[in-house]
Structure 1
Amino acid sequence: MSGLLPVEEAQARLLALRAPLLPEKISFSECVGRYTSDDILALRDQPAAALSAMDGYAIRFEDLPGPWTITGESAAGAAPDRMVGAGEAMRIFTGAILPDGADAIVVQEDVADDGAMLTLTGEGPGARGRHIRARADDFAEGECLLPAGTRLTPGAIAAAAMSGAGQLAVGRRPRVAILTTGDELVPAGRALAPGQIPDSNSPMLAAMLAGEPAIVSLPHHVRDDRAILAKLLKELARRHDAIVTVGGASVGDHDHVRGALQDAGGQIDFWKIAMRPGKPLMAGTIGDAVLLGLPGNPSSAFVTATLFLLPLVRHLAGARDPLPTVHRAPLEIALDGGDGRRDYLRARLKNGRLTPLIGQDSGRTMPLAAANALLIRDIGAPPCDAGATADYIVIA
């Protein structure tokens, strides 16, 4: 279908419209979900010395099977005050520094201790180095622990804190305005006049962005009025890094986003994508803000937000890999061939197999409620039998 932009090209052009935001330094308590702006390098070895991994006794492996003279103890948080010599054992606790001379730990369940002498009663450590955490076993000073652009999970924050850092440089949170258009839309829960429908897109998009490092501004709603829309776009562009319009991006008499963007002094970069649902997607700039125009049907808005809005937010926040990950799984049922647009079918992944849901019309919301994957049927793809593998994207 001529004139339609491939999805990958559109994604690349969207992300090229603006560079990631400048970084800021914040405490660990604020870091979860943010993206590192620099490589996180270890400032220390972890552990900084060989440690015991068990409660027991530090011994020389060559002295097995004992007995040993007990010469003291090593507890976590302090260095042992002497070394372990021939025929000696030192009481040691999990996390304590291994004393010089020792090269194995015999666990306390394998010995008898009369206060002065230690006798082996079990199998013993079995090998030199058993139950010992070697110095720098986790990481060594200077090692890159987290490359720039890494999303900070609780586990990644633990590693960064253990590295010796006191705070982290992360990408700033983009300010995102959600703007719906259309005379027919009414805030959810309000009484409806004939021809009106509840606005499902605002709460849906806000929910999609809830797990992202973004500051979301909503609700903003404009009736089908080009002049008012242009004025609001100007105002929002002064206070936001991205503006997401929903609806009004097609070619109908009441679709005013393209015209309003131009009236407001903005520039359109691309319009219309070779995908279904979501063909009328539009992107451009107004001032320093990126404008992303999503279609108004709920499934179209959801699919295009998954492929474009979430990557844009992650890119602005400093993500190294902002695009969704594509997986593969076998089909539960046969799938028809593709045509001139790439399809993103709402699907269910269950027991490792994909099933496209009934009712792929872009105006339906129930397939969205049941879906946990977008099944990808590429342009011109041949029909597939059940059991053939297909690409998909995980969705919440």
Structure 2
Amino acid sequence: MSALLPVEEAQARLLALRAPLGRETVALADAHGRYLAADVLAERDQPAAPLSAMDGYAIRFDDLPGPWTVTGEVAAGSAPDRAVGAGEAQRIFTGAVVPPGADTVIVQEDVAREGDRLTLTGDGPDSRGRHIRARAADFAAGDALLAAGSRLTPGAIATAAMSGAGALSVAIRPRVAILTTGDELVAPGRAPGPGQIPDSNGVMLAAMLAGEAAAPVQPRHIRDDRATLAKILKELARSHDVIVTVGGASVGDHDHVRGALGDAGGRLDFWRIAMKPGKPLIAGTLGDAILLGLPGNPSSAFVTATLFLLPLVRHLAGARAPLPPVQRAPLAAPLDAGGTRRDYLRARVERGVLTPLVGQESGRTLPLAAANALLIRDIGAPARDAGDAADYIAIA
């Protein structure tokens, strides 16, 4: 346990501790942000019939340039009651079914109507099928529309609804407990006493999880007491899939997470990662629950949560690709060479250019508020000049 684990190895070991949690069926209204447990196949053609894309008149293209006799009207939501014959037109509205015989829609701005007589006043349609949405132009019955493991965005939910689905099979949301530790912490909004600071990590991690497919979580705080921590870990393991501790992960006299995990009957899987900030990360199991011990400095907690907690929650929630994607952008300024641990520098990407922020100390929160990226500087990476490409992870 003394060697520092590479980040990728630690991530792989963490996700291997438990498989996704199974599946349940939820209504579309409750599906946002969840991960599909099964592919979504279209139950119907969309559109199910040729539809008008514009307000105008349904005609036969061969009858151009007119004139025409208007013989009927078709509105969205109704079916045509007669076909369009030679020299005939039917008034039609956007989204209405094109009547049989018609193969083109002429927009209302290009015609003039007197009674039932319709004449061309503009250029008219330039091709057969103009302003008509063909049957199954979006998708056809049986088409695979959404893949298992994909996240249900508003657009994906709209597609599922249009496909004929009213409910979807999704992975079960993991239940996550957040436990901040430390005698120095007081609840946000309370006046700190001598040597105390506000507990920023609990609310930060709860906010990070609020955008994920996890059950709602309310952070708790306990003092630095090993026996109390072991008792609470045991209780939480019976009702949660993931227990996140914050603080107490290092080697100080008041760092009790590893000891309390063992006291509660848990198993340590790994400890200490070759990264900065966030080296003293802990991962283990307690019954069916996974314990993830994050360091207590705010930037360390944020970076490790981005790289480990959020991917773990996504994995348990059924995500096909739970790890944050790595992107590239040119540097706005020179960057020093890398050291013995991989650096995750708080940075900003603006107009496609990546700038590391001033103030990379792990206890500072102001750079977190300004950052929208984590700039990755690998172990032993050479110094880079402005304009050189660098890897980064986008953050909210």
TM-score (norm 1): 0.97
Letter in 2 for 1:167: A
CA–CA distance in structure 2, aligned partners of residues 319 and 125 of structure 1: 47
- Report Cα offsets for 1:170-192 as digits up to 9, x if no partner: 12221110011122222222232
After superposing on structure 2, the runs of 4+ consecutive aligned residues of structure 1 that deviate more than 4 Å are none
Deviation of 1:319 after TM superposition, in Å, equals 1.3
Other-structure match for 2:345: 345
- Pairs aligned (count): 395
Deviation of 1:221 after TM superposition, in Å, equals 2.1
Counterpart mapping for 1:122-133 below 5 A: 122-133=122-133
Other-structure match for 2:270: 270
Letter in 2 for 1:5: L
CA–CA distance in structure 1, aligned partners of residues 332 and 114 of structure 2: 66
**Greater shift in the superposed pair: 214-223 or 316-325:** 214-223
CA–CA distance in structure 2, aligned partners of residues 288 and 67 of structure 1: 76
Other-structure match for 2:62: 62
Deviation of 1:224 after TM superposition, in Å, equals 1.9
Deviation of 1:193 after TM superposition, in Å, equals 2.6
**Greater shift in the superposed pair: 295-304 or 97-106:** 97-106
**Greater shift in the superposed pair: 183-192 or 383-392:** 183-192
CA–CA distance in structure 1, aligned partners of residues 108 and 194 of structure 2: 78
Deviation of 1:215 after TM superposition, in Å, equals 2.1
Other-structure match for 1:159: 159
- Report Cα offsets for 1:154-177 as digits up to 9, x if no partner: 111111111101111112221110
Letter in 2 for 1:230: A
Deviation of 1:102 after TM superposition, in Å, equals 1.3
CA–CA distance in structure 2, aligned partners of residues 22 and 156 of structure 1: 21
CA–CA distance in structure 2, aligned partners of residues 376 and 320 of structure 1: 23
Other-structure match for 2:9: 9
Deviation of 1:351 after TM superposition, in Å, equals 2.1
Letter in 2 for 1:279: K
Letter in 1 for 2:140: A
Other-structure match for 1:214: 214
Other-structure match for 1:259: 259
Other-structure match for 1:108: 108
Other-structure match for 1:389: 389
Letter in 2 for 1:154: P
Letter in 1 for 2:159: A
Deviation of 1:369 after TM superposition, in Å, equals 1.4
Letter in 2 for 1:378: D
Letter in 2 for 1:393: I
CA–CA distance in structure 1, aligned partners of residues 190 and 57 of structure 2: 71
Q: Is the 8 A contact 1:249 1:282 kept in 2?
A: yes
SS in 2 for 1:215: coil
- Report Cα offsets for 1:262-298 as digits up to 9, x if no partner: 1111111111111100111111110111110101111
SS in 2 for 1:301: helix
- Report Cα offsets for 1:41-80 as digits up to 9, x if no partner: 1100000001110111111111111111222122211221
Other-structure match for 2:79: 79
Matched, 1:358 2:358: yes
CA–CA distance in structure 1, aligned partners of residues 216 and 291 of structure 2: 14
**Greater shift in the superposed pair: 168-177 or 272-281:** 168-177
CA–CA distance in structure 1, aligned partners of residues 50 and 28 of structure 2: 27
Other-structure match for 1:283: 283
Q: Is the 8 A contact 1:177 1:216 kept in 2?
A: no
Other-structure match for 2:204: 204
**Greater shift in the superposed pair: 318-327 or 218-227:** 218-227
Matched, 1:141 2:130: no
TM-score (norm 2): 0.97
Deviation of 1:213 after TM superposition, in Å, equals 2.0
Deviation of 1:391 after TM superposition, in Å, equals 0.9
Pick closer, same or farther for the CA change 1:69–1:20 going to 2, 3 Å: same
CA–CA distance in structure 2, aligned partners of residues 157 and 215 of structure 1: 20
Other-structure match for 1:20: 20
Matched, 1:97 2:84: no
Other-structure match for 1:171: 171
Deviation of 1:372 after TM superposition, in Å, equals 1.2
SS in 1 for 2:71: strand
Query: Tell me, which stretches of 5 or more residues in structure 2 are unaligned?
Result: none
**Greater shift in the superposed pair: 294-303 or 109-118:** 109-118
CA–CA distance in structure 1, aligned partners of residues 89 and 191 of structure 2: 80
Q: Is the 8 A contact 2:206 2:219 kept in 1?
A: no
